[in-house]
A = this chain, B = another copy of it.
Amino acid sequence: MRLRIIFTLAVLLAGHSLPRTACAQETSRIKTLAKRTVPVPAGVSEELRGLIASRPLFPNIPVPQTREEWLAVQWVWDANNAQAARDLAQKLGATWESMEVAGVPCFLVTPKNIGQRFQQRWLVHLHGGAFVFHGGEGCIREALWVADACQARVLSIDYRRPPVHPFPAAIEDTVAVWQAVIKRQEADATALFGTSAGGNLTLATTLKLQHIGLPLPGALFAGTPATDLEKIGDTWYTLEGLDPLGRYEGIIRGCFEAYVPSKDFSDALVSPVRGDLRNFPPTILLSGTRDLLLSDTVRMHRALRQAQVDAELHVYEGQSHGDYAAGTAVAAPESEDAQREIFQFFDKHLAD
């Protein structure tokens, strides 16, 4: 009897994964996920497990509405991040100096050791922080980490930000600095990189350089980049509640709208996954299986590959937004692994 039931079930379920119909009912287009629990990922280092277990989700806070409210939050978070950056510099034995390049404030980070190939050459960095935060001295935090990975000097651009300077001010700044940098060194021997909003600006700046006919970087590193500021990426939905970043609605969408006050995110300089990528330089992309921007990252990777660009994707187990750079805060073997990938990629693709 049991055998007969199983046999019947098997017949009924045969080919279950084939599409029933090409045009499903609208009601079936939404999946409902039941409440459930998810343990800390088992397949990651003890250090990363500790990090993942210990941090709460970012709470829903009121989105600043006025220029003064934005500036208040910006001031606090910038200051906090700057302290973290100074701590990291000390830990790594790195130094930095502020300078103006093409009238734009920048920081030049010098790691403890400088590799043979980078004695005279800088990498160029665009910091993250949802276009609004983590400027000032704090913008060197990721720059320090990559400078350490590549044993290279990194020029980090403290680009103009909302609420005072919305899009396209940041890109005007990055292009101006790029023009100055490539007067002192070869473009194809220079990398451009950044994480999150910095990844967006890395890609958008390259699009802009392409538009105006300037030489492009020799390689890009776009870490978990925001590549479509609309809520298109599937992982905004599927991973909500797992990534401490929070959710699209609220402060994140608020930052995107502060960056683009028209709220029209269709411009490729705002949502670079929509751009013409045919002449893009080799690009390395990093993300994680719990990253709200995993979809933004893999969509960009696919778009680059379809444009026949030499683009490489690395996705880290159990990691949320930007966790590969956890090494800016704690020791984590996965973070050293990411440093190695970034170094190898630049080493392979930058001209000598």
Contact = CB atoms under 8 A, between A and B. Distances in A.
A116 interface: no
Nearest to A66: B3
A39 B30 contact: yes
A76 B329 contact: no
Interface in A46-76: 47, 50-51, 53-56, 58-59, 61-62, 64, 66, 68-69, 72-73, 76
Interface stretch (A143-151, A161-169, A228-236): A228-236
A239 interface: yes
Contacts of A262: none
Contacts of A299: 43, 317
Given A6-B62, A289-B298, A234 B317 contact: yes
A77 B10 contact: yes
A188 interface: no
A2 B35 CA distance: 34
A212 interface: no
Interface stretch (A20-28, A174-182, A218-226): A20-28
Size band of the A side of the interface? 35 or more
A253 interface: no
Interface in A306-320: 306, 312-318
Nearest to A331: B22
Interface in A77-97: 77, 79-81, 84
B32 A37 contact: yes
Contacts of A50: 19, 22-24
A242 B238 contact: yes
Interface of A: 2-3, 5-7, 9-11, 13-24, 28-43, 47, 50-51, 53-56, 58-59, 61-62, 64, 66, 68-69, 72-73, 76-77, 79-81, 84, 228, 232-235, 237-242, 244, 289-290, 294-295, 298-299, 301-302, 305-306, 312-318, 329-330, 337, 341
B37 A7 contact: no
A228 B43 CA distance: 10
Contact of A295 (B9, B29, B80, B289): B289
A20 B52 CA distance: 10
A3 B69 contact: yes
Contacts of A33: 33, 35-38, 241-242
Contact of A316 (B18, B54, B298): B298
The residue in A79, A81, A239, A289 that gathers the most chain B C-beta atoms within 10 A of its C-beta is A289
B305 A314 contact: yes
Nearest to A294: B289
B16 A28 contact: no
B54 A19 contact: yes
